[in-house]
Amino acid sequence: MQKVYLDNAATTQVREEVIQCMQEALARHYGNPSSTHSFGRSAKTAVEQARKTIAKTLNAQPSEIIFTSGGTEADNMILRCAVRDLGVETIITSKIEHHAVLHTVEELEKEHNTNVWYVNLDEFGSPSLAHLEELLKKDDSKKLVSLMHVNNEIGNITDIGAVGELCKENHALFHSDTVQSIGHYPWDAQAINIDFMTAAAHKFHGPKGIGFAFIRKNSGLKPLIVGGAQERGFRAGTEPFHNIVGLEEAFVRAYEHLEEETKTVKELKKYFVDQVLKEVPGAKCNGFSGDLEKSTYTLANIRLPFDKQKGLMLLFHLDMKGIACSKGSACQSGSNQGSHVLNEILSGEELEKPSLRFSFSIYNTKEELDYVVEVLKEFANS
């Protein structure tokens, strides 16, 4: 039995170079970065170098990069602090955001009576810029827009440049969950009108448990986690030095090889989608995930032509064949509610069919994809 990992949108395989870098950090550089002796100073220097490396690639300032435990913490921190510290009264978002955003705004609505407005989506799951503009002009409340760059389930790419301009014209703050795009797309924080972004290392072949928030200089946000002066006083807690250098190594290699690796993964996605649609008649792509321009090259969300009863066995069957993929976000895999993203864009009849998210990386091969297609074909004919 082959083992094929096609769940890279959930988490990625850690690069060998990253593992080596982290092993050395754990074995040799064990000083607390906040300590003043040479062991601590050595660790602190490496932490600040990682911050500078990330900032330079994003065309940001080092002080605008705050290390966190990952994207969920960063999203929570930014949204909560925006309401608490910046007087945000209204949050405009969409119903297909990651739950790190959706559940946070729901809590803010309960705790602070924050207005939460949802921008309309088209049939493919992309936000309506016309409706966004309408919401921005609706009243004079202090507003923050939170729209993700790349959707983690259907892969749709939002034009955040256009969203940023609408926010600027209407004096609104702009936050984007960029967890699925940092490390996969080039960035220039000065070219886009954006106040806050988030990233997680394990989405681009780095370690789990580490990420960062981009917080525009002089934003006015205050710490959410207190108890120490770490992260320039913005986030207390001893810095996980080994994770930070692992994040830096993964980040550097992602952008050093971005062009060639993008080309490789894009070809894999196109090949896989073409083969599935050819070999499994009736299969369809959800959202824009079959479009390489309007959807990320890293994933495809495919609806398969099986009835509900047969669909219930599909994921189990693939797992038994050594194939890893998912029904949607790994963060909600234990839920019986199904995909909140697909619930917004598919009809009741379409939701009866099983939809799977296949996500790709540089470690996948065409031979692996052929195997997955063959397994799907056999299952369809069984």
Unique residue bearing structure tokens 């063959």: 374
- The continuous run of DSSP H or E covering 93 comes out as strand 90-93
284-285 and 90-93 strand pairing: unpaired
The stretch 179-195 carries a mean pLDDT of: 97
Q: What is the pLDDT of residue 382?
A: 87
pLDDT tens sequence across 50-72: 999 999 999 999 999 999 999 99
SS3 of residue 79 by DSSP = helix
pLDDT tens sequence across 341-372: 999 999 999 999 999 999 999 999 999 999 99
Q: Which of the following is catalytic: 21, 285, 325, 331?
A: 331
SS3 of residue 227 by DSSP = coil
pLDDT > 90 fraction of the chain, expressed in percent and rounded: 94
Q: Which amino acid would we find at residue 3?
A: K
pLDDT > 70 fraction of the chain, expressed in percent and rounded: 97
> Contact, 219 vs 51, CB < 8 A?
no
What are the structural domains of the chain?
4-13+258-381 (3.90.1150.10), 16-256 (3.40.640.10)
The stretch 151-160 carries a mean pLDDT of: 97
Q: How confident is the model at residue 338 (pLDDT cuts 50, 70, 90)?
A: confident
Q: Which amino acid would we find at residue 48?
A: E
* φ, ψ dihedrals at 20, nearest 5°: -60, -45
pLDDT tens sequence across 208-247: 999 999 999 999 999 999 999 999 899 999 999 999 999 9
pLDDT tens sequence across 249-300: 999 999 999 999 999 999 999 999 999 999 999 999 999 999 999 999 999 9
Q: How confident is the model at residue 76 (pLDDT cuts 50, 70, 90)?
A: very high
Q: How confident is the model at residue 334 (pLDDT cuts 50, 70, 90)?
A: very low
| DSSP state letter for 116 | E
- The continuous run of DSSP H or E covering 163 comes out as helix 160-169
Mean pLDDT of the chain: 95
Does residue 285 carry a catalytic annotation?
Answer: no
The pLDDT of residue 95 is above 80: yes
Contacts of 233 (CB under 8 A, 6+ apart): 223
> Contact, 245 vs 19, CB < 8 A?
no
The stretch 122-132 carries a mean pLDDT of: 97
